[in-house]
Amino acid sequence: MAFIGALGATGAIPCVRSRGTQSRLRSLHPNPCCYQSSSASFALKNGALFTLFSAPVADQRKALGQERFRVRAAGAEPELELVKAKSSIMDPGVLELWRSAEAVCFDVDSTVCEDEGIDELAAFCGAGEAVAAWTASAFGNPMGGSVPFEVALAARLDLFKPSASDVAKLLASKPPRLSPGIKDLVNKLHSKGTHVYLVSGGFRQMIEPAAELLNISKDRIYANNLLFGENGEFTGFDATEPTSRSGGKAKVIEKIKAEFGYTKLVMIGDGATDLEARRPGGADMFICYGGVAVRPNVVEGSDVFVTTFTDLINTL
């Protein structure tokens, strides 16, 4: 079978987002810009129009070495470089850690929810194009790790300065869009007694409604806080929150582990700030979720890469 997808020019867009076509394409293929088998998932390191051919196999559980993959740029002879996660969720050691994890921490934007909260808020305030232009500027996409998170956050908020009223109206008109399967996954984790946290660089005001849908208590949310004046005018964000800066999620994970004594904690997310949590003293495993956006450098650094939460539900 063959799948065709489009990626941006090399270095210009370090992530691929399928936006409105995601649900339709997912019925044909887990993600239009990566290939997933039962043993490993791949994304392109250098962007181009590509076609992916998978040699047919009788048993989809065969090891990676028993399958062959060719990826070529359209009209070009050289094969493009592939990048893959270090392991498969079905690897025995990985599977044991996933099943025995005492706590699982989820990123929110483009992971728990299908949207990027700041993009939705900017669009609601009439600054969607301005924020998108900044994100696609020479600095690149901050979630791909191009610039410090705190710089990206401040720069984008300054473009539209959302008021308390703006946030309330957005939430009233557009409730959180949960990613397919996330509610079932969280429910299953809860049924096993696994503690579930939301650790996000997004805004608490916009995350709490999603947490309520997932039956996650507010005290298990670590996120940024928008600040407002007496009349509800935007005054900034709380820079003392660890998630407001690069490396902050790692510090939150370390704090959670130290406070509650977890010895097995898993982080699940899509961005560079999530990957940062995978370090000594931090998350014991990082699962990169690519069901909304695929960032090749994050995939490459991950322990496991999935494009659907069903893979995680079925292995618990």
Q: Among all residues, which ones are annotated catalytic?
A: 107, 109
- Report d(CA 184, CA 245) in Å as an integer: 31
Assess contact for 202 and 223: CB atoms under 8 A.
yes
Please name the helix (run of DSSP H) or strand (run of DSSP E) that holds residue 130, with its range, or none: helix 128-135
Amino acid at 311: D
As given in the structure block, the two tokens for residue 225 are 């806080």
Assess contact for 85 and 299: CB atoms under 8 A.
yes
Q: What are phi and psi of 134, to 5 degrees?
A: -65, -45
Assess contact for 292 and 111: CB atoms under 8 A.
yes
Tell which residue, 299, 311, 241, has the closest CA to residue 274.
299
Count of other CB atoms within 10 angstroms of residue 62: 13
